[in-house]
Structures are given as structure tokens and as C-alpha cells.
Amino acid sequence: MCMESTSNFKMTLAWVCLIGLLCSTAVKAASKSNLVVDIEPKRPTAVRLGESLQILCRVGRPLRVCRVEIPGEEGGIVLSKGQPPEDGIEYYGEGTEAGQCGVRIAKIKESHDGIFKCTLTTTDSRSEEQASMRIIVAKPPNNPELHTSQGSDGRNIYRKGEKLEVSCSAPGGRPAANVSLFLDDEPIGNEERPTIYDSNVDDNSLAVQNASRALDWTDNGKVLRCVAGHIALDRPKETTMQLQVYYPPQPQSTIERFGYVIGRQGIVNVTVYANPRPRFLWRVNNEIINEGRPDESNRLETSTAVDLGRGAWSVILTIDSVQKSDTEKEYILEARNGEGAYEYRIILSTATEPAGPFGHFYGKLSEHMHALGVDLDAGSIIGIVVGALVLLLIVFILIFARATGRWCFAARRRGDEEAASGVGAGSEAHITPGDEDEEDHDEDPRIIDEKIPQGGQENPIHASTEYVNGRTDVKEAKKDEKTDTPV
């Protein structure tokens, strides 16, 4: 019996020890799992060769061991506050007692590219905790590459309205380069984000930016720019290509030239936009003058077109001695290339070119007067404009005076108002005191008093109606009677 009790006691004691051991292990495991190492910076960090870098690992407990592994350096490095730097590597932070384990690298080397690790051991533990981050030693990309779709003729020559496809790429950068596309200084392709292709085999990357654009004639001569920016570059790398856009001579409204002086040389300069270079032909009153040739009288001479760049061409017609008849002629410049043709009409005038808001009006008026065979100078045009404005002002004043009954229209307005007032009162005739005086100077003034009471109101039903209808006896009979005037 005693032996059996002893055996049961030992069994219970064994179970208690086992449970205690399991609880202790669980507490230690839980304590270990709660130890999290914070590292700064957390993301992959790009740094240029020769620059410095600080990395800090920390926990919320004092440390017994601070060890770091730097790519390119042999083995781990145990660090503590106060240690002298070695090969440009030293401790960084507020001390291991504050739970901080950091490192400062004075000069980054090419070999430092890779995974950095920090290993921490707290004073109340014999286990190690780790954190890591990626050090990217920046390597500049190769020269950017610019690729475009071909034009309709199979070359890098395009026509107005064609769609241009462009691709800008920058290979070989670490990390990937920032690529952008520009047409002159105008960004294009911003609606699409650059595509990044990374390779983990040789640490090379490829950044690509694509764009498309419908070309206009104004795009001719502009420069496509593929620009690659990178942390390892002091300034971006760039590859360029100038666009060639073919388009016909562009239309212009009637060209007006002013300031010609009779008896002096006159220069007619016209700028035409076309690509490729057009052929030019002048017609002066139906006389044809080829480019670079004089007319039959040798008074007019044309120049060879001068290339101003980007499809702009300057064409000059020289008049030896301007005559009045020269300002009455019709000048037409015809420009023609493989894309089309256009005729430019030019008007010459001896008037001074106007300035300000009336310039366009003056030009149109001068054009119409020139068509009628009359040339007007600036003073004449100003006089006509001022006269027209004064005439309009007078007409407006007359209309206003008539509508409001002012000035010379005041008497007529009063007559209209009195006539309208008589009709409104329902009387057969409206007789004012002035009218009665003209018709009958001997009329008894009391009749007037009967018609218009002293209160200032007319009485439409009154004895005066009978008088107007011819019954004069009423006046005699009622001379001595009092008049009942309604109040």
C-alpha cells in the first residue's frame, strides 16, 4: 500500500515538471517572437560611388552583441560605440544600451552593392535577431536609344497628318533610369508610364518610354529628344532626331504692304511655309516672272528663295522705282511643290501702315478702295472713320430725341399727349382754352369753367357738351345758375 502511494506521488511530480518545462519553453518562444528589429532605411537604397551611407538597426531592449554584414567586406563586423573607424566603417547610433546597432560607411565602393544584414543579441537572450535591406551602388545607364516608325515612303520622312510612333529606351542602368520624351521642349508620352525591365542576372535594367503623335506641318524641323536621367549622372544623357514633315504651301490671307514712296525703290517680301522647297512664280497683271528673273521692262526683279529654316522661305520682288501705277497692279505669288500649291495675293500701298485696334479695319478699307482705283493715306482713312462715327452719333441723338420728345420734338409730343388725353375722356371734341379763344373771342369764360372744373378734372357729362353740339340757348338760360360740379 505504501509502495503504491509512493509510485503515484512520483508520477504526479513528473507530470508537474513536464508541464512547467513546456510553459517555460512557450514563454521563451513568445518572448523571442515579440522581438522585432527595425531597420532604416527599409527600402532598397541607391547611392553613388564615393558617397557615405548610414544604416541603423534597433530594438526596444539593451544589446549585448551588435554585428553587421556589409557586401564586399569579409565576414561579420562586431560594432560598439566608441570604437575607432576601420577602413571607413564605424559604429553609428546612440549606443548598444539604447538598443541601437548602426553602421556608417564613409565611402561606398562598387563591391558594396548587395544585401546588408544586421544581427542583434539582447542582454536577456542568447538568440540572435536579424534585419536586412538592399544597397544599390548606382551605375549610369548607356546612351539612350531613340526609335521611330517609318514614314509612308519607307524613310524617316513624314507627311502632314501621319501618325508617328516613338520609343525611348535607356539600357544598363542600376537602378533603372528615368526616361522622358520631348518634341523640342514639349513633353510627349506623359499619358503612358515608363516600362521598367529588371534583370537579376547581371544587375542591368532597361527603361522604356513610348509615345504617339499625329503630325502637323508645324512639327517640321522640331527635334525629338530621348532623355535619360539617373542618380549616377551629373546631368541627363540625351539622344535627338530632327523631324522632316512634308506639307504643301500653307494658305495666307491677302498680304498687305504699306509705306511705298513714289520714285523710290520698293521691296515686296513674302514668307512662304512649305516643305520640300517649292517652285516660285510671280504674276503681275498676268505677266509671268520666273524666280530670280526680271520682267520685260526690267523694272521688276524677283530673287531666288532664301531658306529661313524649318520650311520657311523668303521670296523678294524688287521694284526699281515705284510709280502710282505699281500700287494699282495685281500681284500674285504662286508656290508649288510635290504636296500641293497655293497662290498668294499681295496689295501695295503708299499709305503708312496703321497701328492699334483700327489696323485691321484700315487694311480692309484700303484693300477695297484700292480695288476701286483709289489709294488713301492714313490721314484720309482716319478722317473717313471719324466722319462715319460723328454721323452715327447724330442719327442716334435724333432717334433718341424723337422717342423721348425732347428738344425740337417737344411740341409735337405735347400735342400727341393732349390728343390722346381727349380721346381717353370720351368727348366728341377736346377744346382747350387756347382753341376757344381762336374760334370765338367773345365766348363767356364761364363755359370754360364748366368744362374744366377748378379741381383740374374734366367732366365728360356736362352742359358744355350741349354747347358744342350747337345749343347756344343753354348758355343764356344758365348764366345766373350755379353750376353743379362733381367732387
pLDDT digits (tens, 9 = 90+) for 128-138: 999 999 999 99
Of these ranges, 9-23, 186-200, 205-219, 367-381, the one predicted with the greatest mean pLDDT is: 205-219
Average pLDDT score over residue span 324-340 = 95
Task: Say how far apart CA 136 and CA 230 lie, in whole Å.
Answer: 13
pLDDT band at 481 (very low <50, low <70, confident <90, very high): very low
> Which residue has better confidence, 380 or 467?
380
Per DSSP, which regions of 93-177 are E strands? Answer: 100-105, 114-122, 129-137, 145-148, 158-159, 163-171
pLDDT band at 460 (very low <50, low <70, confident <90, very high): very low
Q: Give percent of the chain with pLDDT exceeding 70.
A: 70
Per CATH, the homologous superfamily of domain 255-355 is Immunoglobulins (2.60.40.10)
Average pLDDT score over residue span 332-356 = 90
Mean pLDDT of the chain: 80
Round the CA-based radius of gyration of the chain to a whole number and report it.
Answer: 52
User: Do 38-137 and 145-245 show the same overall fold?
Assistant: yes
Tell me the pTM: 0.62
pLDDT of 113 higher than 60? yes
pLDDT band at 100 (very low <50, low <70, confident <90, very high): very high
**Are the CB atoms for 418 and 409 separated by under 8 Å?**
no
Helices (H), 405-487: 410-425, 433-439, 445-451, 463-468, 473-477
| pLDDT value for 22 | 59
Lowest mean pLDDT: which of 115-124, 356-365, 449-458?
449-458
pLDDT band at 397 (very low <50, low <70, confident <90, very high): confident
The DSSP bridge partners found for residue 370 are: none
CATH class of segment(s) 145-245: mainly beta
| pLDDT value for 205 | 87
| pLDDT value for 427 | 42
| pLDDT value for 156 | 84
Of 320, 327, 325, 319, the closest CA to residue 269 belongs to 319
| pLDDT value for 216 | 96
Average pLDDT score over residue span 404-410 = 73
Domain boundaries, the chain: 38-137, 145-245, 255-355
The CATH code for residues 38-137 is 2.60.40.10
Q: Rounded to whole angstroms, what are the CA distances from 283 to 141, 341, 410?
A: 59, 15, 64
Average pLDDT score over residue span 4-17 = 57
Q: Rounded to whole angstroms, what are the CA distances from 78 to 86, 133, 408?
A: 12, 18, 113
Average pLDDT score over residue span 242-253 = 96
Task: Say how far apart CA 450 and CA 454 lie, in whole Å.
Answer: 9
Pairing label, strands 38-40, 77-78: unpaired
Per-residue pLDDT reduced to its tens digit, 139-181: 999 999 999 999 887 788 999 999 999 999 999 899 999 999 9
Helices (H), 158-309: none
Of 218, 207, 142, 147, the closest CA to residue 184 belongs to 218
Lowest mean pLDDT: which of 34-48, 191-205, 212-226, 340-354?
191-205
